[in-house]
Amino acid sequence: MAAYRPRDPRGKLREVTTNWTLSMRVAGRAPNCGVVFDPDPPPHTAPQARAWLVGDRRPGSQGDRYVIMDDGDVWRARATAAQMESPASWMTEPDDDLVTLLAKSLGDARLGGAGWLELPDRAECVEDRRREQGGHSGPERRSS
C-alpha cells in the first residue's frame, strides 16, 4: 500500500501550520521568537520576523525544534543525533512527526500549558527561504 502524498505538498504544509497558528492564537498564545534569515549573521543583528518556536517533547522523540512562520513555512532544526543524516532545512511537505507534534502542542495549549513553545535565548538564525523555493515554473506571461 502506497503512502499518502498530497497533490500540493507545500500547500498542505501551509494548510496544516496556518490552522495550527490560528488555533494557538485562539488558545491565547503568540509567536515566541525572533527570526533572522541568515545562518551566520553579524553580532547583534535584529530579528527580521516573528515566529513560533516549538520543541518536540514527545516521549522517544529526538528533540527536534521547529520554527513555524505565520505564512505556513516551517524550518526544522534537527537534534544533534539526527543532524548528521538530515541537517536543518525548510520543510517542503508535512510529515507524521510534524503533524503529531502540532496536535500534541495544541492539546497542551488548550489545557493551559505552554503548547510546547520554547523560551529562546536569542533569535533563531535560519537560511533565507527564497534560496530554497524555486521560481514559478509556468509559462512566461510577459509580452515581448
Q: What is the mean pLDDT of each run of 10 residues along the chain (144 residues)?
A: 78 96 96 93 91 92 91 89 70 94 96 94 86 52 51
Cell numbers for 60, please give them: 522517544
CA pair distance 133, 75, nearest whole angstrom: 13
pLDDT of residue 79: 79
pLDDT of residue 84: 58
For the chain, domain boundaries? 9-38+49-118
pLDDT of residue 133: 53
pLDDT of residue 136: 46
H or E stretch covering 67? strand 65-68
For the chain, the residue count is 144
pLDDT of residue 61: 82
Cell numbers for 116, please give them: 510546547
